[in-house]
Structure formats: C-alpha cells, structure tokens
Chain A
C-alpha cells in the first residue's frame, strides 16, 4: 500500500508541476475514507444501482426521480419513455447533455450499468432487458 502511495506521488510530481503551487487540501495520494471523495474528479464510492442513484443522480433528478422545475428543469426519470433503449441513458451518463456533465471519469462501467438497470426497472419504468458492463465499455 505504502509503495503504491509513493509511486503514485512520484508519478504525479513528474506529470504535474502545477501541484506545488496549488492551494488545495493535503491528501495522501492513496486517500481512503472521507478523503477518497474529496477530489474534483474523484471516483464516486457507491456500489449498486440504488446507491449510485441516491448518492449522485438524485442531486438533480430528485428523490423518486420526479425531476424539478425552476428557471430551467431537470427531467423526471420516472415513467420515462426515453429509457426504452438502454444505450440512451448510458450515453447521457458518459457524455453529458446540455447542462448535464458527463460522468465517464467519476463512474466506472459497472456503476453506470447498475444505475441504468436500476432506473429502467424502478420509478414506474419496466424495461427488463439489462445493460451490461461490456455495453458500457463499448460506448466509452
């Protein structure tokens, strides 16, 4: 573990001289626990479709996937006919659309497959064909 940490540190130093000028907090490279999610592009620490939805997606699409309306709107994912083709939500999560950022760097293939399969079978959606990890990988 320690060897990994130092190797990661040296790699970063070699690649990123800007780091020395940063005003940021002071993580260990192989951060664990709370520190593991502090980085701008840190990996989301959620396992399983429901956990990913509730940990990330519901920030905008809301609990219950009901969406929200202000000056602009977040689309509801409940009873959403756009989910009929599994590739569509995969593509949106990877690449983003309009204001929605892409999450290809923060979610891995399994997390994306899991959350797509979860949303497509919950919130009044009944699309039972599953998206696989390989499907997601192929769309990256």
Chain B
C-alpha cells in the first residue's frame, strides 16, 4: 500500500482496469478518461464553389472518404475516389449469407446464414448524439431501428461467482442499489454524514435513498415486494385466483461485492451507450452501400495504392489491381484527402514532412474480434425472454449480443457470440476462424446451454487479419495524442488525412465523419487562399 500516494498515470490506470474488469470496462474507462468523446458535428460543411476545374483525389471509400467525396463533389470539385475493396463502406460492413470473406493468411469463410441474417463485424451502434453519421444516414434514406444497449433481463455471468450460473442484470442492479441505499441510510441516521449534509437535506436524502434503492418503511432493503418491483419476482403477480406475487431473495451484500458482477451494471451509463441508440435495418453495411450508390461514378474499386507523391502542381497516387496486381496506373489531382488507415499508410511511400510521417508511424492498431452464430431457433427469446441487448461474461468472448430485429419471429437468429478487445482478441486472431467459432460456442454454452443443440453455422472476423485495415482502430494514448495528434491532422502540402484515427472519437463512425468534415473544411480554405 506504500505506493498509494503515487497517482497512477492514466495509462497504467487503464491497463489495471483492463486486467481486472475486462475489455468492455476498458472501453468505458477510456471514454471516461477522455480518450473517446462526444461529437462536434454542427451540420454539413458549407464550402462554397472552388475555382473551376479544381480536383481532389480521395483515397479510401470508407465513411470518411465518402463524406469527403460527397461534400467536395457537391461544392463543385472534380472528385475521384480509389478504394482497395470491391465494395464501398470500409469498416462499415455487414456479412450476409452467401458472402465469402478471405482474411490474411488465406483463411476463407463462406457465410452460411439464412436470408435476412447478418452480423456487423465492425461498428454496430449509432448513438443519438452522433449527429454527423446520422445526418448522412438520413440524407441517404437509410432506414433505422432501435438498438438496445441495456436489457434488464439479459444475463451477467462470472465463471467464479454463484457456481458459474448467470444472474439477471436486473437482480444485480436492484440488489446493488438496494444495499448501498440501506448502508447510506444507516450512516445518515447514525449521524455519520452530519458534517457533509445538513439536517434538512438529510431528510431529503433519506427519501431519495428509499426511492432509489426500493427500501421498505424501515429503510431496509428486504426480501419483500418493494424489492420485487425492481429485481422481479420468483412468481410474478397475475390475475384472478392464486395471483399473489412471490418475492425472490436478494443476493447478500458480501456475496454481491465479491462476485464482481457489479462491474456489469453500468452498461448504459456512458454517454456513448445511453438511449436512444439506432442501427440500420438490414445491417450497418447499408450505410456504406447507400453511400457507394450515391457516389457511383466517382469510385474506382479494387485499387491498391502503392505510392503517393506530391509536388508543387498536384498529387499522384500510383495503384495496382488489389487482386490481380499487374500494371501500375496513376491518378492525379490538385489535392488529396487520404483516409487509408495509418496501419496501411505507414507502409506506403508518401512524401510528406517528418511530423506527419512520425504521427502515422507511431500509431498502433487495436485488436478486436467478433463472432456471429446462427441458431436454429431464437431460444433466448423463447426460453429466456431476452429480446435484444447483451449479456456480459468474464470469459474471453466477453459478451453475447442478441439480434435486435425480427423479435418473436419463429425462425432462426444470429447471435453475436463474441466481441472482445485486447488480449482475448489477439489470441482469437492467432487461431483459424473455425476455432474462434468453437471457442465462442464453448463460452456461450455456459450461459445458454441451448447453444449446443441449436447451433448451425458461424463466421468469425479478427480485425488484425482484415486485409485492408490490419487492426480495428488506431490506439492512441494521452501521451501519443499530445505528441502527434495535431501533426496527423494538419495539412501537409496538398495532402490531408481523415478517418477515425484522425479524431478524438476513435473506432466510432462519428469520428470518421467529423474528421472528414474538418479536413475538407480546412482544405477548402487553403484552396481558396
């Protein structure tokens, strides 16, 4: 305990949180410590007309590249987009039945999902305050539906608590709030808070605690019907005869604290996770598809950029066919918006100054894995009454995501069987896809024993093996941002970078949008100056 006085650096704090609380906790801690943040989007840029014939080359047809291309085209620029993949969207991507996906190393998966089933290997949430991406979703007429972040009837699970049996989210939350309220009420009544809270406010505090924690008339969190209104019942109240509810037994405080399950009940507290959240109907990839269609004549697919060169007259990108290789071709424009991820860009010769080069070269990319599992029936709905949302576990899959469409349908459903970051994601990436699926089945069956009978087919995406990103998102630290972030974003001659990696909302599409809007606004100013 002697080191208690040494304030931990943010980074060591984060790694500690990561070790103890798992990756989702890490993400939320990152959010809290300002690594992630809110959007600054105030509307699409009003660029005005450039000198006639001014051209811009956009590298990458992901969200950032396509926002830039659309706005520059609308302003009157001559725009050309080069994209590595044979489709638009980049990490905005859904995998459907019939799709074939080959990761680095040549591991090929043919997705066996039924029609209407999919997973989003990349982003899957659109928080209400991400007004930038929502602006383009609306402009492109992409239909949205609600995304459920918190499901009170989903499970929280620890392999070492309660005999490894999952517990309902609502029970843990109600019991945690209840016990804490009772303790605080007792302290208030015993005068322990006299210094901090005035007598008059203590009355208000007691009333608030009673309300917040569902305490009884004696300020106790009891195994009574008051608690049942929060945590649920063993037998719910009903109609007619024999309709009396039966309350369950609250989890005792020591057991609850030691279980660690309290780490899971903040799921919807972070700003990025607060209701309302949306998802595109039919998959996140609908946004990329709609963008691609809207920009159809501008985008050239299957172009692997191998060199970027600027001089006093313009910018030239040299590219080859991303599948067949072959002849080197060039595309030239007055200016360039480059959205190629830093992981890839660091390997492409590009004559920019030392500060931007250093910024590109210092950015490592995070590991993440997602696994989709098609089940013969929606047993989580039929057997467990879980409709959307997520269950959390301390196993390496870290969570199970339930499909948030086609509720109550009699047919099949696709679960997100794993979504992890960091260590478990590195380990998953080192395995062939079929083993990642096998692992997800093993972990998931601890929560839903139905897995083994109902599983049909799956698909697993490990982001370090995605050929066009080599990782899921740029991993900034407070130190690296202070040293390099401004250099990454600054215009270098005729080239400006954009993407989630050039934003303070890393790994979110809103970061890509706000970065692109900022980059082209500054670029346009330079063009006009």
Q: Does A138 contact B (CB under 8 A)?
A: no
- Residues in A with CB closer than 8 Å to B286 are none
Q: Does B392 contact A (CB under 8 A)?
A: yes
Q: Contact between B22 and A24 (Cβ–Cβ < 8 Å)? A: yes
- Residues in B with CB closer than 8 Å to A54 are 430
Q: Contact between A24 and B263 (Cβ–Cβ < 8 Å)? A: yes
Q: Contact between B32 and A27 (Cβ–Cβ < 8 Å)? A: no
A74 and B478 alpha carbons, distance in the complex (Å): 27
Q: Contact between B160 and A28 (Cβ–Cβ < 8 Å)? A: yes
- Segment at the interface with B among A32-40, A83-91, A112-120, A128-136: A32-40
Q: How far is the CB of B420 from chain A (nearest CB, A)?
A: 7
Q: Contact between A74 and B24 (Cβ–Cβ < 8 Å)? A: no
Q: Contact between B159 and A33 (Cβ–Cβ < 8 Å)? A: yes
Q: Contact between B4 and A14 (Cβ–Cβ < 8 Å)? A: yes
> What residue of chain A has the Cβ atom nearest to residue B106's Cβ?
A68
Give 1 or 0 for each of A15-42: 1 = CB within 8 Å of chain B CB: 1101111111111110111110111111
Q: Does A56 contact B (CB under 8 A)?
A: yes
> What residue of chain A has the Cβ atom nearest to residue B24's Cβ?
A24
From DSSP, what is the main secondary structure of chain B's interface residues?
Answer: mixed
Q: Contact between B13 and A24 (Cβ–Cβ < 8 Å)? A: no
Q: How far is the CB of B471 from chain A (nearest CB, A)?
A: 6
**A52-69, CB < 8 A from B:** 54-60, 62-63, 68-69
Q: Contact between B364 and A27 (Cβ–Cβ < 8 Å)? A: no
Q: Does B437 contact A (CB under 8 A)?
A: no
A31 and B471 alpha carbons, distance in the complex (Å): 27
- Residues in B with CB closer than 8 Å to A49 are none
Contact with A15, one of B16, B365, B429, B469 (Cβ below 8 angstroms):
B16
Q: How far is the CB of A100 from chain B (nearest CB, A)?
A: 6
Q: Contact between B160 and A22 (Cβ–Cβ < 8 Å)? A: no
**B325-367, CB < 8 A from A:** 340, 342-344, 346-348, 361, 363-367
A25 and B167 alpha carbons, distance in the complex (Å): 12
Q: Contact between B16 and A12 (Cβ–Cβ < 8 Å)? A: yes
Given contacts A34-B396, A39-B19, contact A27 B443 (CB under 8 A): no
- Residues in B with CB closer than 8 Å to A39 are 18-23, 26, 422-423
Q: How far is the CB of B429 from chain A (nearest CB, A)?
A: 3
A40 and B18 alpha carbons, distance in the complex (Å): 5
Q: How far is the CB of B179 from chain A (nearest CB, A)?
A: 14
Q: Contact between A28 and B258 (Cβ–Cβ < 8 Å)? A: yes
- Residues in B with CB closer than 8 Å to A100 are 364
**B460-493, CB < 8 A from A:** 462, 464-471, 475
Contact with B17, one of A14, A22, A99 (Cβ below 8 angstroms):
A22
Given A39-B22, A39-B26, 12 further pairs, Cβ under 8 A: A20-B263, A23-B266, A23-B269, A25-B157, A27-B260, A28-B158, A40-B422, A43-B19, A56-B430, A71-B470, A72-B348, A99-B364
Q: List 21 A-B contacts (CB under 8 A).
A: A9-B20, A15-B13, A20-B262, A20-B266, A23-B266, A24-B22, A24-B27, A24-B263, A26-B262, A27-B22, A39-B26, A40-B26, A41-B18, A41-B423, A43-B423, A44-B426, A59-B426, A63-B105, A72-B346, A99-B364, A99-B471
